[in-house]
């Protein structure tokens, strides 16, 4: 009996390791070739398993993408707004937030490039990442609360903040325009301050 329990436990550990290897292989492929190009055959080859093994662990694309997203974000945690929410001054709060947000964008750039490129063509990816994009809208709204303004023009402020925190904004300023992160932050703070003065 003890021998059987040991064998079952050993098998469970091995299955867990295999599942993790599949997830890590899939994340690597998503980062390098994108979701549309990541076939089950490619995953199996990258993970060193049979195609059937992938299917045994993940019944469909939704299950696989959910596991991969959870794994990736556990390795690359989203910025924690509690680190800057206590800052009363809106400009200092925004500058502090952008420092952490742009550091996150830099850290996750390799994954975000194919993600933003492919998301419109992969409905399942849109569904899985809905909480991810909701997080960024929440960050925008939390930052907007720091700024006084008239409700009828509040949308302008939210739009400028949403633009400031977006990955594609960081990528444009840093990769295409050649700014350092701190310079990009100053540009965005100046923009938001100008919009705030309007509202």
With 0-12 CB in 10 A as exposed, 13-18 as middle and 19+ as buried, what is 165? Answer: buried
Is the dihedral angle over the CA atoms 45, 47, 48, 52 positive or is it negative? negative
Final residue of a structural domain among 54, 74, 94: 74
For residues 189 and 193, what is the distance between their CA atoms, to the nearest angstrom? 6
- Same domain for 113 and 183, yes or no, is yes
Q: Check whether residue 24 and residue 121 sit in a common domain.
A: no
Per-residue pLDDT band for 108 (boundaries 50, 70, 90) equals very high
70 and 96 in a single domain? The answer is no
The CATH number that applies at residue 22 is 1.10.357.10
Number of domains in the chain: 2
Query: What Å distances lie between residue 177 and 93, 108, 120, 174, CA to CA?
Result: 25, 19, 26, 6
Q: Which pLDDT belongs to residue 83?
A: 85
Please return the burial class of 188, using the count of CB atoms within 10 Å of its CB with bins 0-12, 13-18 and 19+.
Answer: buried
Q: Is pLDDT of 6 > 60?
A: no
Do 185 and 102 meet the contact criterion of CB atoms below 8 Å apart? yes
Alpha-carbon span 70 to 68, nearest angstrom: 5
Q: Are residues 67 and 136 in the same domain?
A: no
pLDDT in tens, 136-185: 999 999 999 998 866 667 899 999 999 999 999 999 999 999 999 999 99
Q: How big, in percent rounded to 5, are the helix, strand and coil portions of the chain? A: 80, 0, 20
- Cα separation of 41 and 51, whole Å? 6
Per-residue pLDDT at 75: 97
């Amino acid at each position: 009996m003890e021998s059987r329990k040991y064998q079952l436990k050993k098998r469970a550990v091995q299955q867990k390791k295999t599942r993790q290897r599949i997830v890590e292989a899939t994340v690597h492929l998503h980062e390098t070739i994108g979701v549309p190009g990541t076939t089950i055959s490619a995953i199996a080859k990258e993970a060193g398993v049979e195609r059937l093994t992938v299917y045994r662990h993940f019944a469909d694309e939704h299950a696989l993408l959910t596991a991969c997203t959870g794994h990736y974000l556990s390795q690359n945690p989203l910025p924690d707004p509690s680190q800057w929410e206590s800052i009363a001054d809106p400009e200092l709060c925004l500058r502090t937030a952008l420092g952490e947000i742009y550091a996150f964008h830099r850290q996750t750039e390799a994954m975000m490039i194919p993600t933003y490129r492919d998301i419109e063509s992969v409905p399942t990816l849109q569904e899985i990442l809905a909480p991810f994009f909701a997080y960024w809208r929440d960050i925008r709204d939390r930052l907007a609360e720091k700024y006084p303004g008239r409700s009828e023009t509040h949308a302008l402020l939210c739009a400028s903040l949403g633009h400031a925190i977006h990955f594609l904004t960081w990528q444009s300023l840093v990769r295409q325009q050649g700014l350092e992160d701190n310079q990009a932050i100053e540009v965005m703070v100046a923009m938001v301050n100008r919009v705030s003065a309007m509202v």
